Chains A and B, each alone.
Chain A
Amino acid sequence: MSSVIWYLYEFGRKVWVKGFFNGKTSKEIMEKPDRFRDFPKVLKKNCIGCGACTSSCPSPNAIKLIRDMDDKDHHGITYPVINKGACIRCGFCAEICPSEPKTLECGENHFITEKFNIVPSKRKFIVDDFLCIVCGKCRDACNVNAIEEINNRFRVNEKKCVACGDCLKSCPVKGAMKGIFINNLEEQKTIIKLIVDRLESFIENKKEELDKLDNLSLVKIQYPLSELWDEIIAILPDEEVAYEVTENAINRLKIRVMTWNEDNCKLCKLCVDECPTGAITYNEEDNRVKHDKNKCLRCSYCYQTCPFGVVKYFVVKFLVENNEENNNDKDINEIVKNKVIGITIKTSPLSAYLSD
């Protein structure tokens, strides 16, 4: 009996009756607390277009920088756009946004102090003290004051740097400010090795031209970059990184090429004892002196020793050049089609001393 009365009491309550007939969830549960991190709110006009948000986002495809169309009076403004289908609502973009006031707002994350902001980026900026002329242009160009002067030398503060690349553009000395890719180091090594191997074999095939070279003249030949490009992309799929690594590697590359002309060899075997790595061997069965290219250091001892001119020694430099002038393509694949590797070959400066 008591339970029946209890049931009547329970079901007679106003809240229960209301809930039973309305059948609606109470409004309170839809409310979100202050700290709730919703999708980031974008305030377009504060954006400085540095790209810190895109490089810091843990989710690919979540955030993109876009630029409005230019009109007559103004340049179009740049601002980030959030893709709601991929944003994980971590609020990290709001946390690291360097603009003042912040472009992105998310929960309470944009109140986090600037002191700890470290932007993960695929590029790391380093000042080369040897080349830097301490002009201070990079410091002026930096939007976030990441470049500091310590003891009359410039340093990039990694904790402030947003990797926008403005310092690189403003630097008047080529190579004084370096943007290095810190990921995919193994792939970068493989690319450089591939380039060196290819160019070396290409030059050695041009034996006839090399034989004609005397001490003063140069040979200039060209090699299209697009022949290498497919293999490079297969190693490192990120086109932007791959192109920059390739270009830097080729521009800095300086290799020594040796040619081995066996017809002149009189089997004096002087070079066999001189070679420090044992790359040159005398084979009794064939009665020949052999040169193993894979062991060779290109140290030029054999070149200095040989009295008959079997070995020839060249220094080769490279530069990435435009094939046709005035190309304004933006797609990297298009740019690569128009690029050639200019190869400059001259005889080693040693030859001047030797001939004297």
Chain B
Amino acid sequence: MILPIGPIHPSLKEPLRLKLKTKGEKVLEAEIDYGYVHRGIEKIMEGKPWQKCIYLAERVCGICSYEHTQTFAETLEKISDVRAPLRAQFLRVITNELDRIQSHYLANSTFFKAIEHETLFMYMLSQREHIMDAIELLTGNRVNMGWNVIGGVRMDVKEIHLKQILEKLEAVEKNHDRYVGIFENGPIVGLRSKKVGRMTKEEALKGRAVGPIGRASGLKHDLREKHHTYCENLEFKPIWRKKGDNFARTMNRFNEIPQSIDLIRQAIENLPEGNIRSDVEIKSGYGEWRNEAPRGEVLYMVETNGNLIKQISIRTPSIMNIDSCAKYMLKDVATVTDAVATYATADPCIACAERVAILDMDKGYDTYKLL
């Protein structure tokens, strides 16, 4: 029997159709239908100056909106052979890690909602609010921050902001371990999450899973290791786990939160004085840049013509993660409810994923499929 879930469904936050092939309660296979939120954002960007495009890049995805602007800015900086001033790089690290923390809390809270653990769901959201406050304090908006520009960041921070951010981080840290303990030691939560939706390392490699999903299956792949700000100035080691089930994915995200807090502390302590923005003359050319977004690796391929964007192509992590989720995680899940929970741990972000249209030229325009 084929059981369709979505596009509007109590347990999904975004429109997407999940087709589960079931036998009784057991899920045999899964298939995913995309295409509900294709807006053509890459096409809109073509021929526009970067000042406008950077606001458009932000709106590729609402949850990890910060990383998109940073990657876009760094791609153009690479094309024009400059680097942002050190102070700006550190400020970018702070905002980036704050964004990562809130995204991980949100991802875990959706998992807890999917397994009907309301208490942890509420705890996660109240933790997240502290971080959102810090982001709003620093950048001026909660979601679409408008913080990055080519060659630096828009506004400088004051001592008082840094102090308040550290206070918020302390408030987060105070309860974090207790909440992780509830999840780690709770017997019923363990039953719903351990050994459910397993993906081995080979499967993760085959499905090209990235980010926390890949790291939970044993792929030690974190692009922050190679990023120039992190490897030159900050201490950082990727966190990874071996098991690759729902428990490992959730715990991997939980463990990355204190690490991010530590990175923010390091950045604030070592924050150098100086300019926050340098004057950049953008060259014409082609460039690529990868960054580690909360969900994994983001790749921007940009071709510029002076100030204008000639062509742009974006690869976001969600498309690989959702695909490997459908192929390997949802296969042989014991119940349908577990399937929904497994889907939630893959941290899907459909708004990210849908930018491409596939045309079947033989059959004509009517059969096109949006991705």
The reply to whether A and B meet directly (CB within 8 Å) is: yes
Interfacial residues of chain A within 301-344, with CB under 8 A of chain B in the complex = none
**B233 in the interface (beta carbon within 8 A):** no
Which single member of A36, A95, A183 contacts B141 (CB below 8 Å)?
A36
Instruction: Output the least CB separation between B164 and chain A (Å).
Output: 9
> Which A residues lie within 8 Å of B155 (CB)?
35, 108-109, 112
**A91 in the interface (beta carbon within 8 A):** yes
Which single member of B51, B136, B140, B277 contacts A120 (CB below 8 Å)?
B51
**A116 in the interface (beta carbon within 8 A):** yes
> Which A residues lie within 8 Å of B141 (CB)?
36-37, 89
**B56 in the interface (beta carbon within 8 A):** yes
**B49 in the interface (beta carbon within 8 A):** yes
**A118 in the interface (beta carbon within 8 A):** yes
Q: How large is the interface on A (under 10, 10 to 19, 20 to 34, 35 or more residues)?
A: 20 to 34
Which of B47, B56, B146, B277: most chain A Cβ within 10 A? B146
**B139 in the interface (beta carbon within 8 A):** yes
Pair B279/A115 contact, Cβ less than 8 Å = yes
**A107 in the interface (beta carbon within 8 A):** yes
B47 and chain A: residue at smallest CB distance: A183
> Which A residues lie within 8 Å of B49 (CB)?
118, 120
Pair A92/B55 contact, Cβ less than 8 Å = yes
Which single member of A33, A92, A112 contacts B136 (CB below 8 Å)?
A33
Which single member of A36, A58, A92, A116 contacts B140 (CB below 8 Å)?
A36
Interfacial residues of chain B within 11-60, with CB under 8 A of chain A in the complex = 47-49, 51-52, 55-56
Instruction: Output the least CB separation between A236 and chain B (Å).
Output: 12
**B308 in the interface (beta carbon within 8 A):** yes
Which single member of B51, B136, B146 contacts A56 (CB below 8 Å)?
B51
**A90 in the interface (beta carbon within 8 A):** yes
> Which A residues lie within 8 Å of B154 (CB)?
95, 109, 112
Pair A58/B277 contact, Cβ less than 8 Å = no
**A43 in the interface (beta carbon within 8 A):** no
Contact string, B126-147, partner A, CB cutoff 8 A, digits 1/0? 0000000000111111001010
Instruction: Output the least CB separation between A47 and chain B (Å).
Output: 21
Contact string, A100-119, partner B, CB cutoff 8 A, digits 1/0? 00000001110010011011
**B307 in the interface (beta carbon within 8 A):** yes
Contact string, A114-143, partner B, CB cutoff 8 A, digits 1/0? 011011100000000000000000000000
Pair B139/A35 contact, Cβ less than 8 Å = yes
Pair B51/A118 contact, Cβ less than 8 Å = yes
Interfacial residues of chain A within 173-189, with CB under 8 A of chain B in the complex = 182-184
**B333 in the interface (beta carbon within 8 A):** no
Instruction: Output the least CB separation between B69 and chain A (Å).
Output: 11
Which single member of A36, A116, A119 contacts B279 (CB below 8 Å)?
A116
On whether A118 and B55 interact (CB within 8 A), knowing A90-B146, A91-B146, A112-B154, the answer reads no
Tell me the bound Cα distance from A116 to B138 in angstroms: 21
**B344 in the interface (beta carbon within 8 A):** no
**A146 in the interface (beta carbon within 8 A):** no
**A88 in the interface (beta carbon within 8 A):** yes
**B216 in the interface (beta carbon within 8 A):** no
Pair A37/B146 contact, Cβ less than 8 Å = yes
> Which B residues lie within 8 Å of A33 (CB)?
136-137, 140
> Which B residues lie within 8 Å of A35 (CB)?
136-140, 155
> Which A residues lie within 8 Å of B48 (CB)?
120
A56 and chain B: residue at smallest CB distance: B51
Tell me the bound Cα distance from A35 to B153 in angstroms: 15
Tell me the bound Cα distance from A247 to B170 in angstroms: 66
Pair A58/B55 contact, Cβ less than 8 Å = yes
Which single member of A36, A91, A118 contacts B307 (CB below 8 Å)?
A118
Pair B307/A37 contact, Cβ less than 8 Å = no
**B329 in the interface (beta carbon within 8 A):** no
Task: Supply 4 further A-B pairs (C-beta < 8 A) apart from A120-B49, A120-B51.
Answer: A36-B136, A58-B56, A107-B140, A118-B49
Which 8 pairs from chain A and chain B are nearest by CB? A120-B49, A35-B140, A58-B52, A58-B55, A37-B140, A107-B140, A90-B146, A120-B51
Could you pull out 10 A-B pairs where Cβ atoms are within 8 angstroms? A35-B140, A36-B140, A36-B141, A37-B140, A58-B51, A88-B144, A91-B146, A108-B155, A116-B149, A116-B277
